[in-house]
């Protein structure tokens, strides 16, 4: 946790990694890009190095993030896409310049037109469009953790992934289920004068 800020949770899908910069939306929300510099840091580790960021650009980024979250959630539950969210995604996609370039190693990189936050957001918006439009191999789903419910892109063979992230939500749910089972099987003896014998 450098500088005391919440660390990043980076996934393999750019758009949903970005929506993951606000986690636990249905619990105690954690803002992982609380300052303009943290957005610059996040963009850098995501292959979209922007030179600087103003508070207004951070607002633009967060507006795009919540719009992607809203549209991806609607798509995951096969609901109509919210028009306002679609508008924001399209505006951000159109209003930045970026080009895909091929490295000597055969990998795709993004070259931002003017290294601005707007350029970076256009790449994220286009990535969101590709998954919401169903152009990529995978399935949009919602995390099974009740405090999370993040939209994620399931690329597993069976398309049965339940959590946005195995290391956080998945583990926590498993732990909660384990504790609930423990309570159900062994927790009765001695509680509130109940004299049911404990199994020996
Ligand atoms: Zn989750």
Across the chain, which has 200 residues, the per-10-residue mean pLDDT values are 78 94 95 97 97 98 98 97 98 97 96 97 98 95 94 93 89 82 70 45
Distance 105 CA to ligand 1 centre (A): 34
Distance 61 CA to ligand 1 centre (A): 21
Each domain of the chain, given as residue ranges in start order, spans 2-137
What residues have a C-beta under 5 A from ligand 1, the ion? 143, 145, 148, 150, 164, 169
Distance 24 CA to ligand 1 centre (A): 7
Distance 108 CA to ligand 1 centre (A): 28
pLDDT of residue 66: 98
Q: Supply the pTM of this predicted model.
A: 0.86
pLDDT of residue 196: 46
Task: List, for residues 144-176, the tens digit of each pLDDT value.
Answer: 999 999 999 999 999 999 999 888 898 887 888
Distance 163 CA to ligand 1 centre (A): 5
Distance 76 CA to ligand 1 centre (A): 14
Q: Which two tokens stand for residue 33?
A: 């890009």
Residues facing 108 on adjacent strands = 102
pLDDT of residue 182: 86
pLDDT of residue 177: 81
pLDDT of residue 129: 98
Distance 152 CA to ligand 1 centre (A): 8
Task: List, for residues 183-198, the tens digit of each pLDDT value.
Answer: 888 755 444 444 444 4
Distance 88 CA to ligand 1 centre (A): 24
Distance 149 CA to ligand 1 centre (A): 6
Distance 120 CA to ligand 1 centre (A): 25
Distance 77 CA to ligand 1 centre (A): 16
């Amino acid at each position: 946790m450098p500088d005391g800020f919440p660390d990043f949770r980076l996934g393999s899908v750019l758009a949903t990694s970005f929506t993951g910069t606000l986690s636990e939306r249905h619990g105690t929300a954690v803002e992982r890009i609380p300052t303009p510099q943290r957005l610059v840091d996040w963009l850098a580790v995501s292959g979209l190095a922007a030179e600087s960021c103003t508070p207004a650009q951070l607002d633009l980024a967060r507006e795009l993030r919540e719009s992607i979250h809203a549209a991806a959630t609607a798509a995951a539950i096969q609901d109509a896409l919210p028009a306002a969210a679609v508008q924001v995604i399209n505006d951000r996609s159109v209003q930045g310049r970026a080009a895909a370039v091929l490295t000597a190693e055969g990998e795709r990189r993004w070259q931002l037109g003017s290294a601005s936050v707007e350029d970076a957001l256009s790449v994220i918006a286009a990535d969101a469009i590709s998954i919401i439009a169903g152009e990529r191999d995978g399935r949009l789903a919602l995390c099974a953790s009740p405090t999370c419910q993040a939209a994620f892109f399931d690329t597993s063979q069976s398309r049965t992934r339940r959590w946005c992230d195995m290391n956080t939500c998945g583990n926590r749910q498993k732990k909660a289920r384990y504790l609930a089972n423990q309570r159900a099987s062994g927790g009765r003896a001695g509680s509130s004068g109940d004299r049911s014998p404990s199994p020996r």
